[in-house]
Chain A
Amino acid sequence: MNSTTISIIVGMMLVTYIPRVLPGLLSDHYRLPKAVERWLQNIPYAALGALIFPGIIQGDTPIVGVVGGLTAVILSLMEWHLVLVMAASILAALFTSWFM
């Protein structure tokens, strides 16, 4: 196994476990300040936004990313199940790359 990869995994494990375990070790009645709680709740949406764009159009053929992405946007707005959204988006991307 590659030692860089192992240290990334161990680092990820630590920074994932610490936020999970802290509230359990503290007193039962401790609560974070409201503003901090709201900031924490905003994190997933901000992180996903940054992860999706512009990465999705930076592959070898940007149009494949555009088609796959738009498919996912439309189907998830229609509240399709996550697994079906992923499957349809992959199929749309495969279909598009077949024409490229």
Chain B
Amino acid sequence: MQDGRSNYHTGQPFKQFSKGVRTGLPVAIGYMPIATAFGALAIKANLSPQETVLMSACVFAGASQFMAITMMLQSADGIQIVIATLFINLRHLVMSMAVHHVVQSPNRLWRALLSFGITDETFALLTLQKTRTKTDSSPFFAAGLIGIAYSSWVAGTAFGSLGSRIIPLSISAAMTIGLYAMFIGLVMPHVRRSVRVACITGISMTLNTVLAPMMDSGWAIVISTILGASFGLLWKETAM
């Protein structure tokens, strides 16, 4: 039996799950401060701690959650936030294909459950392991990895949203720059390595600067994103 499917029937689910938890630990640790920052920022955008934790528990997508809060601060409409979220997370289509190619789920129900936990980081860990053993393609391994990452995201959000009450106002105002810093920190390493990425980012910044005074800032972001990504098709080189 070569394929991972055999693990489901004959393997050791608990061992595979706990190996997944250990493998996912770096992501869980990395999520903590970001989730805490998200929790604190959401309170600043007038969400209650309950709503903030609910968003992390239901959505589990860092960039789009930060984006939603930014758009709420810029008083965008709900529909604009949902559409922008859709476009930002369409990339998970591609990542999900790669994950389901690697993880040998026994049926569609397993795939539907594991799909909820696909983020940039869990995708990277699940698909880009240097050496892959039979255990690493077990659905229990994937469940452990996703489980620890998800728990950290939700717990960190709760911590940040409750802790924001004791964070002084001047510091919480400066936290707003923290979210822009996160976006910059995410995109700059790619900008440095690829002329295509640099042009896409630059074009969409320029478009947004031109469009923002002419319409709601939410729609300006959505239109700039779609046009910027389309502009990038002028390059033949593929991303990653």
Contacts and interface: CB of A to CB of B under 8 A. Distances in A.
Interface string A9-36: 1111101110111111100101110010
Contacts, number: 287
Contacts of A51: 67, 70, 180, 183, 221
Chain B contact residues: over half helix, strand or loop, or mixed? helix
B14 interface: no
B186 A50 contact: no
A19 B89 contact: yes
A82 B190 CA distance: 13
Interface residues of A, number: 71
B120 to A, nearest CB: 8
A32 B188 contact: no
Most buried by B among A24, A64, A85: A24
B51 to A, nearest CB: 5
Contacts of A54: 205, 208-209, 212
B34 interface: yes
B96 A72 contact: no
Nearest to A75: B185
Contacts of A22: 93, 96
Contact of B170 (A16, A75, A83, A97): A97
Given A9-B51, A46-B228, A69-B180, A55 B100 contact: no
Interface size grouping (class) on chain B: 35 or more
A23 B58 contact: no
Contacts of A77: 188-189, 192
A8 B183 contact: no
B185 A86 contact: yes
Chain A contact residues: over half helix, strand or loop, or mixed? helix
A86 B209 CA distance: 24
Nearest to B112: A21
Contact of A97 (B64, B91, B174, B231): B174
B64 to A, nearest CB: 7
A83 B37 CA distance: 10
Given A5-B47, A12-B85, A54-B208, A32 B115 contact: no
Nearest to B208: A50
24 contacts: A2-B48, A9-B59, A15-B89, A19-B91, A20-B116, A25-B111, A28-B101, A32-B97, A37-B238, A42-B229, A42-B232, A43-B87, A43-B88, A45-B201, A47-B204, A47-B225, A49-B187, A49-B208, A52-B183, A54-B212, A75-B185, A83-B34, A86-B182, A97-B174
Interface of A: 1-2, 4-13, 15-17, 19-25, 28, 30-32, 35, 37-56, 59, 64-65, 68-69, 71-73, 75-77, 79-80, 82-83, 85-90, 93-94, 97
Interface of B: 30, 33-34, 37, 47-48, 50-51, 54-55, 58-61, 63-65, 67-68, 70, 74, 78-79, 81-94, 96-97, 100-101, 105, 108, 111-112, 114-116, 118, 170-171, 173-178, 180-192, 197, 200-205, 207-209, 212, 217, 220-221, 224-233, 238-240
